[in-house]
Amino acid sequence: MLKGIAASSGVVVGKIYKLEHPSFEIKRVNAEPETQLKKFDEALEKTRDDILRIQKAAVGRLSDEELAIFDAHLMVANDPEFLDQVKGIINSEKVNAEFAVDQVASTFIGMFEAMDDAYFKERAADIKDVTYRVKCHILGVVIPDLSLINEECIIVAKDLTPSDTAQLNKEYAKGFATEIGGRTSHSAIMARSLEIPAVVGCSGIMDACKHGDVIAMDAISGMIIVNPTADEIDDYQMKASVFMKAKEGLKVMKDVPSITLDNHKVELVGNIGTPEDAKGVLDNGGEGVGLYRTEFLYMNATELPSEDAQFEAYKAVLEVMKGKPVVVRTLDIGGDKKLPYLPIPEEMNPFLGYRAIRLCLDRTDIFRTQIRALLRASAFGHLCIMFPMIATINEFKEAKAIVMDEKNNLLNEGVKVSDDFEVGMMVEIPAAAVLADQFAKIADFFSIGTNDLIQYSMAADRMSEPVSYLYQPLNPSLLRLIKMTIDGAHKEGKWCGMCGEMAGDELAVPILLGLGLDEFSMSATSILGARKMVRELKKADMTLLANKALNMNTAEEVEELVKKALK
């Protein structure tokens, strides 16, 4: 029995297809630049052809969001910085092409991996995927093609690259398990969209099995059994049928209101990172977008995105959402999120440093461009502009003044701007939570960013493994900060949402409902489950539950309390 991270829910039993990517050692060899440059160009051409072929074959099988990953891959294969550096090494050091590719790839991968941000780690995975393909083509190594599988199986691999996953045909590939990867890795995201069970980060799985073995996989708990007994197979098949029934049952939740048994209405909305994600929110019954992390637009570019490029992205989301609220967060860069083209001074504690709104109020040129793009897009739907990392009233006032100033500028230029966009803020710094009643006089709404609020209130870096035990969403101290924020908003007739991971946490939802949270923003695939839960609860009961929780001592006590109430 092995345990990994359940990345895409489901239970399945089947035969193993063990995927082993050819590995090779790359040595530095002196070589004639002319032939090496030719080899490199040919390999690049083949790589681009592969990417386009895989993307084309996956149309209809993958969502637009996943297909866009291959555009990112093409960008890597066409990236002038990458090409120039490889050619530079081939020319100046007179070495073999695969060595030059390997050198440049390692530098980029190392840089992105060091950023400790899930998004950047995925960029590293893209570069790895593309440059592996380039090296294989230079060396004439054949790359396994999963699209050729023609019998039902479960793929076991060290890791699945996005191109591997895109080749999976749901008819035959009934699930996969990998040694490495996390819940936010591309392969995990794709598995959720293909709706096939997946367990990732399952250490030891490759050594534990061989091609053709049987595997029983519970991708709800992350448990895997290689070569299970007949009883274990029965047990997993039973779990599979229970899971399928529950999943079918959730479909009826798509178009019903998010309303408790005693008629209290909340909004269940989705978090997105790209315009393409918005459709997934609608497909999963989302009532709006509660957080559009715009930094991805900046991170996907090689220079600051223009006002027009940003306008197109924001407009696309507003149009897809057809009048439903869309909360767009202004640039939240700094801390662990860096832009290669925007140098930020090194600091001892970057999470407590020059980042997000602090940077934007300093670099108003960057901020004003984004605000103008947002205001232009406001004419196409229900836009809510949200500032990240607000600590003081003056910061909010200053940021809002820029919005109003740009609104006037646009109107003077004859550009249409909506009259009823909202301007709100994230509450992710304890100082803002404590002063929420004052902030609510000037902000149209709040969205609580618990990912940061927890790290700042516990003084526990969200990236630090040794102190990860302090990430305690149910700690009464955090619940009190949340209550202060919600009460502060309501006192002034404003709404309060939450877009940190906690909003989709099954054990937190009942308490948040009891505390009066108006809007819950989570990953799209969590929405239907949350709606089912909301519809089975009574707001009045949850208020009592929340009041009890606020007066407890520990997160463990609160967890017990909620579990008992849900039974």
- Report if residue 4 touches Mg ion, rule: CB under 5 A: no
- Report if residue 499 touches ligand PEP, rule: CB under 6 A: yes
- Report if residue 449 touches Mg ion, rule: CB under 5 A: yes
Cβ at position 357, least distance to ligand PEP in Å: 12
How many angstroms separate the CA atoms of 200 and 183, rounded?
A: 7
C-alpha to C-alpha distances, 166 to 71, 120, 173, 385, nearest whole angstrom: 13, 20, 11, 35
> What kind and span of H or E run contains 428?
none
Cβ at position 53, least distance to ligand PEP in Å: 35
In the list ligand PEP, Mg ion, none, the entry touching 450 (Cβ below 5 to 8 angstroms by class) is: ligand PEP
- Report if residue 519 touches ligand PEP, rule: CB under 6 A: no
Residue 97 CA to its chain's centroid (Å): 35
Cβ at position 507, least distance to ligand PEP in Å: 17
Residues in 38-97 that interact with ligand PEP by CB under 6 A: none
C-alpha to C-alpha distances, 146 to 129, 166, 513, nearest whole angstrom: 15, 9, 45
Residue 258: both structure tokens together: 């998010």
382 is catalytic: no
In the list ligand PEP, Mg ion, none, the entry touching 500 (Cβ below 5 to 8 angstroms by class) is: ligand PEP
How many angstroms separate the CA atoms of 386 and 399, rounded?
A: 10
In the list Mg ion, ligand PEP, none, the entry touching 137 (Cβ below 5 to 8 angstroms by class) is: none
In the bound state with ligand PEP, the residue whose beta carbon lies nearer, of 112 and 243, is 112
In the bound state with ligand PEP, the residue whose beta carbon lies nearer, of 293 and 338, is 293
- Report if residue 117 touches Mg ion, rule: CB under 5 A: no
Residues in 287-306 that interact with ligand PEP by CB under 6 A: 291, 293
Residue 213 CA to its chain's centroid (Å): 33
Taking CB atoms, the residue at the shortest distance from Mg ion is 452
- Report if residue 428 touches ligand PEP, rule: CB under 6 A: yes
Residues in contact with ligand PEP, counted by CB under 6 A, come to a total of 10
Q: What backbone torsions phi and psi does residue 205 show, to the nearest 5 degrees?
A: -65, -40
Question: Which listed range, 93-101, 117-125, 448-456, 464-472, lies at the site for ligand PEP (CB under 6 A)?
Answer: 448-456
Question: Which listed range, 156-164, 198-206, 367-375, 425-433, lies at the site for Mg ion (CB under 5 A)?
Answer: 425-433
For residue 319, count CB atoms less than 10 angstroms from its CB and return exposed for 0-12, middle for 13-18, buried for 19 or more.
middle
Residue 73: both structure tokens together: 């891959």
Q: Which of 181, 273, 280, 500 binds ligand PEP (CB under 6 A)?
A: 500
Burial annotation 262-291 (CB, 10 A radius, 16+ → b, else e): eebebbbbbbbbbbbbbbbbbebbbbbbbb
Question: Which listed range, 104-112, 341-349, 396-404, 445-453, lies at the site for ligand PEP (CB under 6 A)?
Answer: 445-453
How many angstroms separate the CA atoms of 224 and 51, rounded?
A: 32
In the bound state with ligand PEP, the residue whose beta carbon lies nearer, of 153 and 272, is 272
Burial annotation 442-476 (CB, 10 A radius, 16+ → b, else e): ebbbbbbbbebbbbbbbebbbeeeeeeebbbbbbb
Cβ at position 61, least distance to ligand PEP in Å: 30
In the list Mg ion, ligand PEP, none, the entry touching 194 (Cβ below 5 to 8 angstroms by class) is: none
In the bound state with ligand PEP, the residue whose beta carbon lies nearer, of 275 and 334, is 334
Token look-up 């092995």 returns: 2
In the list Mg ion, ligand PEP, none, the entry touching 218 (Cβ below 5 to 8 angstroms by class) is: none
Residue 7: both structure tokens together: 């990345």
Q: What is the DSSP pairing of strand 267-272 with strand 422-427?
A: unpaired
Question: Which listed range, 74-82, 448-456, 510-518, 558-566, lies at the site for Mg ion (CB under 5 A)?
Answer: 448-456
In the list Mg ion, ligand PEP, none, the entry touching 293 (Cβ below 5 to 8 angstroms by class) is: ligand PEP
Q: Name the active-site residue from 137, 186, 382, 384.
A: 186
- Report if residue 497 touches Mg ion, rule: CB under 5 A: no
Task: Identify whether the C-beta of residue 219 lies closer than 8 Å to the C-beta of residue 197.
Answer: yes
Amino acid at position 464, single letter:
S
Residue 396's nearest CA partner among 372, 422, 420, 425 is 425
Residues in 450-479 that interact with ligand PEP by CB under 6 A: 450-452
Amino acid at position 13, single letter:
V
Q: Name the active-site residue from 136, 209, 360, 499.
A: 499
3-state helix, strand, coil in the chain (%, to 5): 50, 15, 30
499 is catalytic: yes
Q: Which of 267, 452, 461, 505 binds Mg ion (CB under 5 A)?
A: 452
Cβ at position 495, least distance to Mg ion in Å: 19
How many angstroms separate the CA atoms of 287 and 316, rounded?
A: 17
What is the contact surface with ligand PEP in residues (CB under 6 A)? 291, 293, 332, 428, 449-452, 499-500
Residues carrying an active site annotation: 186, 499
The binding site for Mg ion (CB under 5 A) comprises 428, 449, 452
